Structure 1
């Protein structure tokens, strides 16, 4: 028997992540803190198909790597990664709405 995540908890975690993505875009949150927050959103990740978790973790890995460099000197643009995280949140919301 597998435990399913509470839909309301998953939705709340998605909203918290979206807020974190927006704070990151305004440079009010460090990439490492956002990564910790996202990895702790287990109810959300359980409520979504596995590929959503894979994509999110890949984006977070690149974001955390880009934070080691100044501005855009890294091969990963922090702005593009933040935009992709916000797009991920939109698609995750659509997926939750289907469930």
Structure 2
């Protein structure tokens, strides 16, 4: 496991979350970036990948609708992605067992 590469991919992904919030990145582009972060997803427990991909699927679906007409809020999804990034960072920062 390459922790340095995983940490770099997490930083890029968290930057992507910020760019999405500023409407400088599309949900589809963020989804592609996240799915390509294989070192990160392999470095984290399986449930992290499951949660991330679920949030991204909902975010990409919500992008098909205008603002809050979808059954879930883009802002709430973005908040959850930000929280996911914080927890993923804490997981990577944990000393190896």
Instruction: State the TM-score, normalizing by the size of structure 2.
Output: 0.96
Q: In the alignment, which residue of structure 2 is the partner of 1:78?
A: 74
Q: Does 1:14 align with 2:10?
A: yes
Where does the alignment leave 5 or more consecutive residues of structure 2 unmatched?
A: none
Q: In the alignment, which residue of structure 2 is the partner of 1:68?
A: 64
Q: In the alignment, which residue of structure 1 is the partner of 2:86?
A: 90
Q: Does 1:26 align with 2:9?
A: no
Alignment of 1:23-62 (within 5 A): 23-62=19-58
Q: How many residues align?
A: 95
| CA deviation vs aligned residue, 1:23-61 (integer Å, no higher than 9, x gap) | 001111000000000000000000000000000000000
User: What is the alpha-carbon distance in structure 2 between the residues aligned to residue 37 and residue 76 of structure 1?
Assistant: 22
* Residue aligned with 1:33, SS: helix
Deviation at 1:76, TM superposition (A): 1.3
* Residue aligned with 1:75, SS: coil
